[in-house]
């Protein structure tokens, strides 16, 4: 009755079903783990944004790798901006998704040391080789506040650290790279400026991270699991339909081969 399941077509279809089911289940768990990670990250963002500000030198030092537990912590720093060694970070987007650059300015701290300050986004120059017109930071000693971020790396960001870039242009915000260019120690990580707000709104400060959205990952997980449940159901329906079609065809063949009764 079910010998047709041993045909090449049905063996292939059955093997495909056996592969699809665990694959879809695994994809569901992958999306579920992404959902858990997003929920955990939102909790960390909320906690660190609400934490009391601390001096940046309390959380980082030269060569220090900022741990994930300190991401987005509000920190303060007092010092003088070193505009002579200011650089721009290429291919970054604004709040409305325009392509431009970030302004990265070293801040020489009052008590010694240097920290990198991402002052925000500005439009790129007319050509990629030209240095854009960068609004000047406040002159003299200034106290700034911002969110502490970890150094960007090619592995973590997916951005290629291109060689041979024009002068004072970089692809990544990296304290070790800038320490080499400056010839002096730089605190690990960098400060994402939140205050004081630049006059005229330029550079455009970076928006606070989103800690209110959990994304669609849980919905995607449920979808994959529903697909995994639907595959065997669909296979059973196809098997029963094939069995019915073959039985009907056999009956029709038998009826066509029966002799007709003679007329009186």
What is the Cα–Cα distance from 215 to 28, expressed in whole angstroms?
15
The crossing angle, in degrees rounded to 10, of helices 8-50 and 217-257 is 170
What Å distances lie between residue 128 and 14, 141, 154, 195, 241, CA to CA? 56, 33, 21, 29, 64
60-64, 158-162, 163-167: lowest mean pLDDT where?
Answer: 158-162
Is residue 111 one of the residues assigned to a domain? Answer: yes
Is residue 17 one of the residues assigned to a domain? Answer: no
Is residue 94 one of the residues assigned to a domain? Answer: yes
Is residue 10 one of the residues assigned to a domain? Answer: no
Burial 244-253 (b: 16+ CB within 10 A, else e): eeeeeeeeee
Q: Give 216-237 pLDDT, tens digit per residue.
A: 999 999 999 999 999 999 999 9
Q: Is 27:33 a contact under the CB 8 Å cutoff?
A: no
What is the Cα–Cα distance from 48 to 178, expressed in whole angstroms?
26
Which of 151-155, 179-183, 251-255 has the highest mean predicted lDDT (pLDDT)? Answer: 179-183
**What is the tally of structural domains in the chain?**
1
Range of the domain at 96: 53-201
Is residue 211 one of the residues assigned to a domain? Answer: no
Is residue 214 one of the residues assigned to a domain? Answer: no
Average pLDDT, integer, range 187-203: 94
Residue 264: pLDDT band with limits 50, 70, 90: very low
User: Is 161 or 181 the better-scoring residue by pLDDT?
Assistant: 181
- At 218 the pLDDT is 94
Q: Give 73-82 pLDDT, tens digit per residue.
A: 999 999 999 9
- Global confidence as pTM: 0.78
Q: Is 113:95 a contact under the CB 8 Å cutoff?
A: no
Is residue 119 one of the residues assigned to a domain? Answer: yes
Is residue 240 one of the residues assigned to a domain? Answer: no
């Amino acid at each position: 009755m079910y010998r047709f399941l041993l045909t090449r077509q049905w063996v292939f279809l059955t093997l495909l079903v056996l592969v699809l089911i665990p694959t879809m289940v695994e994809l569901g768990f992958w999306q579920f783990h992404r959902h858990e990670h997003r929920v955990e990250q939102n909790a960390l963002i909320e906690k660190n944004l609400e934490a009391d500000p601390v001096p940046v030198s309390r959380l980082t030092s030269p060569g220090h790798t900022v741990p994930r537990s300190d991401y987005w912590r509000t920190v303060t720093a007092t010092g003088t901006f070193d505009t002579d060694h200011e650089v721009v970070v290429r291919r970054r987007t604004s709040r409305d998704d325009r392509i431009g650059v970030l302004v990265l300015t070293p801040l020489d701290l009052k008590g010694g040391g240097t920290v990198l300050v991402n002052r925000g986004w500005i439009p790129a120059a007319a050509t990629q080789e030209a240095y854009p017109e960068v609004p000047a930071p406040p002159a003299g000693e200034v106290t700034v506040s911002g969110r502490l971020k970890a150094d960007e790396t090619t592995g973590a960001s997916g951005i290629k650290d291109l060689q041979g870039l024009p002068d004072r242009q970089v692809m990544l915000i990296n304290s070790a790279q800038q320490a080499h260019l400056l010839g002096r120690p730089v605190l690990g990580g960098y400060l994402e400026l939140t205050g004081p707000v630049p006059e005229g709104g330029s550079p455009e400060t970076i928006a606070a991270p989103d800690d209110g959205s959990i994304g669609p990952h849980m919905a995607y997980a449920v979808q994959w699991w529903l697909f995994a449940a639907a595959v065997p159901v669909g296979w059973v329906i196809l098997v029963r339909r094939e069995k019915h079609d073959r039985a009907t065809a056999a009956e029709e063949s038998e009826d066509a081969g029966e002799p007709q009764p003679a007329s009186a």
